[in-house]
Amino acid sequence: MRRDIRSGIESWPLERPFRISRGVKTAAEVVTVEIEADGVMGRGEAVPYARYEETPATVLAEIREVTDALASGAGRADLPGLLAPGAARNAIDCALWDWELKQGKASLPLLTRPLATALTVSLDTPEAMGEAAVALAAAPLVKVKVNAEDVEACLRAVRKSAPAPKLIVDPNESWDLALLASLQPLLAELRVDFVEQPVPSEIDAGLAGFERAVPICADESVHVSRDLDHLVGRYDMVNIKLDKTGGLTEALVLLEAARARGFGVMVGCMISTSLSIVPALAVAMHADYADLDGPWWLKQDRPGGITVEDGMILPPAPGFWGTNRA
């Protein structure tokens, strides 16, 4: 029996602009896949990663190139031979997981309790970032987006407004090694838990032997499990994102491999709907940190998705993804 495969592009407006060192978003542009067979539909969503020259159009084209194979029965084990790790493979992999779980053909523990997530203060003036942080003062974890300008002023403004939460600093590859070194005393003073991908992945060899006051987490420098060997000695942690790994299947492999090598683990996301987040929760349940606030930025999320309250993710409604319970 052939499966029915549907795919498309959706745009979900944001409640407020989201700025990082590379640019600003006003909407979440996502690519979706639906796989239907035996009266059951599996859904997946991915967010194209501009850093790797992905666009909604190119990701959709990749998916449609393998639609016949999927319709004929290709499964998760076949995907690495069909697509490279990335957003297209992620959307398909998660749709297949959803279908298999609803059919009882796979098992996977899903989130049933609240889980702490980072809430993000996006890049802006120090004054605006301090004002944004006021609303997050009771959250357990805050992530601060910065670039190479006014770093100290921005971080001090956020920490003054939110003195209690754990703090993550994310420059999105915008620093160099000299700036990273100069900021070590400040990072320690402000009780930063770790810095995420401070320098471009192309120059991260310079992190080997770097004397750090706080841990350093790889993001752009790690996509799949085979990347881990060259991170040893450079990074203390890794950020697992399903849009980089090419889906939940490889994300679970990466989680196990990272733990085996002694890395700390964070599970992250792009700005997305809950359909991207719920599969990632299956990994985040076993991580040290979660940064899964993508839907928190939307004007409106998918019905039945996760809820974020005071920095805690509440599980989605039964039947949203991965279960057929009504």
Summarize pLDDT for 263-294 with one digit per residue, the tens: 999 999 999 999 999 999 999 999 999 999 99
Q: Are 203 and 180 in contact (CB under 8 A)?
A: no
For 17-34, what is each residue's pLDDT tens digit? Answer: 888 877 888 999 999 999
Report pLDDT for 323.
Answer: 78
Taking 80 as the threshold, does the pLDDT of residue 142 lie above it?
yes
- Average pLDDT rounded to a whole number, residues 69-74: 97
- Average pLDDT rounded to a whole number, residues 37-45: 96
Q: Which residues are catalytic?
A: 145, 241
Mean pLDDT score across all residues of the chain? 96
Residue 54 in 3-state DSSP? coil
For 120-129, what is each residue's pLDDT tens digit? Answer: 999 999 999 9
DSSP 8-state symbol, 273: -
- Give the C-alpha separation, 91 to 45, whole Å: 5
Alpha helix segments (H runs only) across 36-150: 56-65, 67-71, 79-82, 87-103, 126-134
For 92-115, what is each residue's pLDDT tens digit? Answer: 999 999 999 999 999 999 999 999
- Average pLDDT rounded to a whole number, residues 217-229: 98
Taking 90 as the threshold, does the pLDDT of residue 303 lie above it?
yes
- Average pLDDT rounded to a whole number, residues 156-174: 98
Higher pLDDT, 314 or 21: 314
- pLDDT-derived band at 63 (thresholds 50, 70, 90) equals very high
Give the start-end residues of each E strand in 124-274.
141-145, 166-170, 192-196, 216-218, 237-240, 264-267
- Give the C-alpha separation, 189 to 141, whole Å: 17
- Average pLDDT rounded to a whole number, residues 196-223: 97
Q: Which residue has the tokens 């703090």?
A: 167
Report pLDDT for 243.
Answer: 98
The domains of the chain, with CATH numbers, are 4-103 (3.30.390.10), 115-314 (3.20.20.120)
- pLDDT-derived band at 1 (thresholds 50, 70, 90) equals low
- Average pLDDT rounded to a whole number, residues 49-58: 95
